[in-house]
Amino acid sequence: MTKSEQLFERAVKIIPGGVNSPVRAYRSVGGTPRFIERADGAYIWDADGNRYTDYIGSWGPMLLGHNHPEIREAVCKAAEKGLSFGAATEAEVEMAELICSLVPSVEMVRMVNSGTEAVMSAIRAARGYTGREKVIKFEGCYHGHCDAMLVKAGSGVMTAGIPDSAGVPGGCAQDTLTAVYNDLSSAERLFEENPGKVAALIVEPVAANMGVVLPQEGFLKGLRALCTKYGAVLIFDEVITGFRLGIDGAQGLYGVAADLTTFGKIIGAGMPVGAYGGKREIMECVAPVGPVYQAGTLSGNPVAMAAGITQLRILRDHPEVYDKISRLGDLFRQGMEQVLKESGAEVRVTGTGSLACVFFTGEPVKDYASAKKSDTGRFGKYFHYLLGHGIHAAPSQFEAVFFSNAHKEEDISAFLGAAKAFLK
């Protein structure tokens, strides 16, 4: 028995499913999850000493690679001064100034501890600002595990085949309206059917929790126009895309400004951090300035701020990082297209920049319904083939492949070679 198997055997006795986040359990692909011992650059090592080239990157934040020396040094220096104060620090101010300077649509920002908390808080702020209650979301877009957003969600919920969640009272979700991603008319219909009642529309600008599904031409700009027309707050969930698709995220890439934006992952460089921010008039509704209450004892943790500030400054000062990771993404996608052409496999590859996804379906993937047609059984075999060849990809058909500045072209070539061997 391997050490990972031994650890999992211990874990299932005292942790639900043996894991602290469902997708880690390998339920959709089978087998025993690998327990990771350390990581550096583009690589991770499991408890048995096996090395893998990592394409999860802690689900996105390791844009510069694991254990980046400057980030590690900043964390150590911050930790020497204390781990938590429960009081205001200069680092919080520096982080807020940095985010506001990099994302034009963000005039004020509040730090929180996770992407879920950021979404929950942004929705509350939108409701407080508008005096309305209903929120529009899209099928397959995952916005964390807060009650109101677990309606036709993506990510782990989609992976597990759970359309909603037990434990969520009907009243919590009754004001959540669901539209179809890339279908403007479905969103407009919900506005028309609920006149003067929609507080906000929330969307992943690039849907990266049902695989990677790109917005079709005009979709995001159409959502911006709808929210303006109907007086609703447009919330971009950039927990994955923020600072990954460019220094100003998906908003910069697609030229669409949100009213509120949620962040996570990358702004903590791997530490547990989230944030929400946007227009000053909306953010000033948040306590202690306004009546919308939101608090967090550990929000703006000084060690986490040190990590995030260091990563964001590196990204700001070295735009060539984005050139490299986008080039790696293009190399992967173009290489996979060639592999698929040669093999004739019913597989689709999608993505943009440093995000990609391989869908085991022969149909174009443009929304939740088309993503769900993927052959998850076939994906599971593909996942284990990759793992057996030293490639650590997400154990779910409906998650992204993440590229980092630590990856090299030869890493991509090895990935493509393994995929080609599997699909031949």
Question: What is the widest separation between alpha-carbon atoms in the chain?
Answer: 61
Query: What values do phi and psi take at 54, rounded to 5?
Result: -95, 125
| Strand runs labelled E in 47-133 | 51-54, 108-112
- Which one is catalytic: 152, 265, 324, 372? 265
Helices (H) and strands (E) in the chain, counts: 15, 14
Cα gap 147→173, rounded to integer Å:
7
Do 109 and 275 touch, CB atoms closer than 8 A?
Answer: yes
Query: For this structure, is 142 an active site residue?
Result: yes
Residue 311, both tokens = 């990563």
Cα gap 358→371, rounded to integer Å:
11
Cα gap 245→253, rounded to integer Å:
7
Query: Angle, to 10 degrees, between the axis of helix 409-423 and the axis of helix 320-343?
Result: 20
DSSP three-state, residue 76 = helix
Residue 410, both tokens = 């030869």
- Which one is catalytic: 46, 54, 237, 259? 237
- Which one is catalytic: 142, 181, 254, 322? 142
Query: For this structure, is 237 an active site residue?
Result: yes
Do 378 and 368 touch, CB atoms closer than 8 A?
Answer: no
**Number of residues that make up the chain:** 424
Query: Angle, to 10 degrees, between the axis of helix 184-193 and the axis of helix 219-230?
Result: 10
DSSP 127-159: HHHHT--EEEEETT----S-GGG-SS--HHHHH
Cα gap 277→185, rounded to integer Å:
28
Please list the active-site residues: 142, 237, 265
